[in-house]
Amino acid sequence: MNRTPRHRTVAGTTALLAALGAAVTACGGGHPLAATPYDAAADVSFSIATGDGEQADPDRPLDITADGDGRLTDVTAVDGSGRYVPGELSADGGRWHSTSPLAAGARYTVRVSTENDDGRPGREVRTFRTGRPTTTRRLDVTFGPKAGEYGVGQPVVAELGAPVRDRAARAVVERALRVESTPAVAGAWHWVDDRKLHYRPEEYWPAHATIRVHSLLEGVRVDDRLRGGRARPLSITTGDRLIAVTDAAAHSMTVHRNGEVIREIPVTTGKPGFETRNGVKVVLGKEYFVRMRGESIGIPRDSSDSYDLPVYYAARVTWSGEYVHAAPWSEGSQGSANVSHGCTGMSTGNAEWFFDTVREGDIVQVVNSGGEAMAPFGNGYGDWNLDWRRWRAGSALVADADAARPDERPRLRPESV
């Protein structure tokens, strides 16, 4: 996946990218080819000790950042027994961090791939050892997304510095994490995993709201080994209520702003075998240029389905690579047939308008597709595909024995606009 240097991705931090932090594009993606990668040692920074004779704290997450104008394209971390450390790569390639704890007394090898502004790839390999865990750990909290203006579908994210598995300990954490909005709306936290929580109201946030997030956890005992640490408060705002609904059967997208239809766009979605996911998705970022390759989703180069295309005006809605983007090659099918490999394609003029109109956090919903349902977590923000009862069942503060399991397949419904 490439971007021209003059059109940087508008990407939310904490956006979720599961499994080893590798960004994959479902309609394609890839990195530019180069004969010899450069030494990227000076272009990356590690959050833990990696020097000779030093031992890293296993209770700290492994955090790798790109320095200068380059970006990370791939990170793998593996211990001596071959176990990989799962992690997340930010959409703009600026940061990768582990999403599970490191093992104590283990030796790790980390391989980092980078790309500079000229598209040239770099490589850096580091090894380090972890020491013994401390007796008492501090549970720091990082809130996301970064400060700014978002669409009304943007969840609030809390990432914990250590795993919390016990329900009582989770309740302590939840009580201390405060979310307040103006206008006021009720909401709830949902535990995505042992280290991550998402917060959303029952319906979308109000348009033009201010949302403030802070923690009262510092110094509070969470369990026998954890006490609350620091958390930087966060304030974000929402813009207009913008919802784009794509009817895959009708080959049309209807864009609503504050309840009014502002544009109807002929589109094409995924063809048989590559059907677009049904459900509510949230815009994760915008990329002016993306290079999409069929090999990234397992299509052999010599297949009739193979492709290698420059794509413009691309709004990302899943981490596996589903976009809304310009597809001038399929204009003859837009409005009448589904011929894509999973993305929503439209004319260049319509795609440019859509790109300029939407922001991170805006809603893109697909209905009447033959594809699978959008997952609630792990491939973007599918949070809104859980009804309110199941969402609240993911909170440690809600005792509802009759609530459905949070990981059940979501029931789809056309979203009210």
In a domain, 95, yes or no: yes
Task: Answer with the residue of higher pLDDT: 315 or 297.
Answer: 315
How many residues comprise the chain? Answer: 417
Helix, strand, coil content of the chain in percent (nearest 5): 10, 40, 55
Query: How confident is the model at residue 397, as a pLDDT?
Result: 94
Task: Answer with the residue of higher pLDDT: 221 or 402.
Answer: 221
In a domain, 2, yes or no: no
**CATH code at position 310:** 2.40.440.10
Angle at 208 (CA atoms; ends 205, 210), nearest 5 degrees:
75
In a domain, 377, yes or no: no
Q: Are residues 16 and 92 in the same domain?
A: yes
Q: Are residues 51 and 14 in the same domain?
A: yes
Q: Are residues 162 and 197 in the same domain?
A: yes
Domain end (from 352, 367, 382): 367
Enclosing domain of residue 148: 137-238
Instruction: Kindly report the pTM of this predicted structure.
Output: 0.66
**Identity of the amino acid at 128:** F
For 375-398, b/e burial (b = at least 16 CB within 10 A) is bbbebbbbbbbbeeebbbbbbbeb
- Does position 152 have pLDDT exceeding 50, yes or no? yes
Q: Are residues 141 and 180 in the same domain?
A: yes
In a domain, 63, yes or no: yes
In a domain, 376, yes or no: no
Query: How confident is the model at residue 221, as a pLDDT?
Result: 81
Q: Are residues 97 and 176 in the same domain?
A: no
Q: Which residues does 375 contact at the CB level (< 8 Å), separation at least 6?
A: 382, 385
Active site residues: 325, 343
In a domain, 56, yes or no: yes
Query: How confident is the model at residue 17, as a pLDDT?
Result: 37
Query: How confident is the model at residue 288, as a pLDDT?
Result: 96
**CATH code at position 110:** 2.60.40.3780
Domain end (from 130, 149, 180): 130
Q: Are residues 63 and 31 in the same domain?
A: yes
Query: How confident is the model at residue 26, as a pLDDT?
Result: 46
Query: How confident is the model at residue 13, as a pLDDT?
Result: 36
Angle at 363 (CA atoms; ends 294, 213), nearest 5 degrees:
115
- How is 354-388 classified by DSSP, letter by letter? HHHH--TT-EEEEES-SSPBPPSSSSS--GGGS-H
Q: Are residues 53 and 122 in the same domain?
A: yes
Domain end (from 187, 211, 238): 238
Note the pLDDT tens digit of each residue in 166-221.
999 999 999 999 999 999 999 999 999 999 999 999 999 999 999 999 998 887 88
Note the pLDDT tens digit of each residue in 79-129.
887 878 889 999 999 999 987 667 767 889 999 999 988 888 999 999 999
Q: Are residues 246 and 363 in the same domain?
A: yes
- Separation between Cα atoms, residue 196 and residue 320, nearest integer Å: 20
- Separation between Cα atoms, residue 199 and residue 178, nearest integer Å: 10
In a domain, 141, yes or no: yes
Q: Are residues 352 and 246 in the same domain?
A: yes
Q: Are residues 125 and 157 in the same domain?
A: no
**CATH code at position 210:** 2.60.40.3710
Q: Are residues 293 and 310 in the same domain?
A: yes
Query: How confident is the model at residue 281, as a pLDDT?
Result: 98
Rg of the Cα atoms in the chain:
22
Query: How confident is the model at residue 223, as a pLDDT?
Result: 86
In a domain, 395, yes or no: no
The total domain count for the chain is 3
Helix/strand/coil for 245: strand
Query: How confident is the model at residue 99, as a pLDDT?
Result: 78
Q: Are strands 137-144 and 156-160 parallel, antiparallel or unpaired?
A: antiparallel
Q: Are residues 185 and 217 in the same domain?
A: yes
